[in-house]
Amino acid sequence: MNPLFGEFIGTALLVLLGNGVVANVILKGTKGHNSGLIVIAFGWAMAVFVGVFSVAAISGAHLNPAVTVALAVAGKFAWADAPGYIAAQMLGGMAGALLMWLIYRDHFDHTDCADTKLAVFCTGPAIRSTGGNLLSEVLATFVLVFAILSMVAPKVSLGAMDALPVALLVLGIGVSLGGTTGYAMSPARDLAPRIMHAILPIKGKRDSDWRYSWVPVIGSLLGATLAAVAHSVA
């Protein structure tokens, strides 16, 4: 498989399952309705696990423009290949959001709150404060990327289980730092589904909160860059 297609498929799987668990928890009438943040955090961790082990051998499983930028800053990935990876990740995020909407379309139709419908697709702050929200995204992404860069490949491969440390990392970030902004940590996880929210014919939807949309994008890229620099000098 072509590495770019691998990034597309891996990111699509990640967003399908990750946004899918959010839909299951907050949309009206689902079997997982109101099951809470712990379920969402665990679901996102498993989404990362599936995405990473599915395409790690094909593309390296960046699945996140912030990770791609960090690896390039750290000298572990060619800058010339970064635009293609990022484009594939963004398209994959859009595809995953589309599939999630198709699966949960009836529940979107039965949910009255437009804010809830938006929250299935993308993150938003619990308390809107630009400085604090940006700091939350920067620090969460810093933890994610610094830990990923610090992971040493095992001498004996465990196959799919090699993706488990990254999944546990995302779970830890979710339950510890996810209460402020929803820990986007990736434009492909936040901006790409937000675009789909704007495009799709969702019954009773609101605007896509574009005035906040730059925070998870800039925050994740800045946090990833700082992590790459810190890791390089550590």
Task: Tell me the whole-structure pTM to 2 decimals.
Answer: 0.95
* pLDDT average, residue stretch 81-89: 98
Tokens 């297609």: give the residue: 5
Q: Which domain holds residue 29?
A: 3-233
Q: What is the pLDDT of residue 160?
A: 55
Average per-residue pLDDT for the chain? 95
The C-alpha atoms of residue 22 and residue 184 are separated, in whole angstroms, by: 13
The C-alpha atoms of residue 123 and residue 109 are separated, in whole angstroms, by: 20
Question: Are the CB atoms for 68 and 59 separated by under 8 Å?
Answer: no
Nearest CA to 117 out of 217, 12, 22 is that of 22
Q: What is the pLDDT of residue 161?
A: 60
Query: 109-135 pLDDT, tens per residue?
Result: 999 999 999 999 999 999 999 999 999
- Tokens read off for 72: 């390039």
Q: What is the pLDDT of residue 151?
A: 85
pLDDT bin (cut points 50, 70, 90) of residue 1 is: confident
CA distance readout (Å), 227 to 74, 131, 146, 221: 9, 19, 5, 10
Query: 132-185 pLDDT, tens per residue?
Result: 999 999 999 999 999 999 985 555 454 556 789 999 999 999 999 999 999 999
Query: 16-52 pLDDT, tens per residue?
Result: 999 999 999 999 999 999 999 999 999 999 999 999 9
Please provide residue 196's backbone torsions phi and psi, each rounded to the nearest 5 degrees: -65, -35
* pLDDT average, residue stretch 91-99: 98
CATH number reported for the structural domain that contains residue 103 in this entry: 1.20.1080.10
| Total count of domains within the chain | 1
Nearest CA to 89 out of 232, 192, 226 is that of 192
